[in-house]
Amino acid sequence: MQNAKDTFYEVLRGRLAVLNPERTIVLRGVVRPGVLVEENELLTAVALPDCFRLRWSTSAADANGILPTIAMQCFADYETAGTAINGGMDRGRALAAMDAELQAAVDPLPRTSPKMDYAPLANGKAATPMTTSVWWSEVAFGETVIKDDRLARTATINVMSYQEAGEL
C-alpha cells in the first residue's frame, strides 16, 4: 500500500512539475514542486495555498484474484487567494488553472505506472522497481468552497495496485 502511495505521488509530482514549473512551494527553506503529501510533512496549522496537498483516505482490499487488489482514495486539497497584485480578483481564474493542471496531470493515458519501492532511499540507495503496477481513475472535482479570502476545492482520485507478497 505504501509503495503505491509513494509511486503515485512521484508520478503526479513529476507530471505537475512539467505542466507548470512555476508552481512551486518553499517548505523548510527549500523550493520544490507545488505538491506535497500531508502525512509526510510536519504537523502544521497552516494550509499552504497555491499547491496540491495530498492525503490518503479509505482503502479496500479485494482478495479475489491471483494477487490481492488494494484500492485507495487520494484527496487533493488546494486553495488560492489569487494574486495580490490583482487584489485577489483573479482567485476564480487561479482555482480554474489549478483544476486544469490537476486534470492534465491525472487524466491522460496511460493512467498507470510501474510500482516502485522507495524504502532504499532511506539508506542512500536508489528506488527499486517492483513487479506490478499502480493505476488510477480520472480525477473527480468537489465543489468550490469559500474560505475567507480563498477559494478551495478537494479533488478525488482512486488509486489501485496489486499487493505483492511481503509488501507493506
By CB under 8 A, name the binding residues for another protein: 6, 9-10, 13, 27-32, 36-37, 39-46, 118-119, 121-122, 127
Nearest distance from C-beta of residue 78 to another protein, angstroms: 17
**Burial class (CB within 10 angstroms; exposed 0-12, middle 13-18, buried 19+) of 88:** middle
Work out the burial of residue 116: count CB atoms within 10 Å of its CB; fewer than 13 is exposed, 13-18 middle, 19 or more buried: buried
Residue type, 21: P
Q: How far is the CB of 81 from another protein (least distance, A)?
A: 15
Judged by beta carbon, residue 107 or residue 149, the one nearer another protein is 149
- Rounded CA-CA distance 149/160 in Å is 36
**Closest CB to another protein among 66 and 126?**
126
**Radius of gyration over every alpha carbon of the chain, rounded to an integer in angstroms:** 17
Instruction: Tell me whether residue 10 or residue 90 sits nearer to another protein (CB atom).
Output: 10
Shortest distance, position 47 Cβ to another protein, whole Å: 11
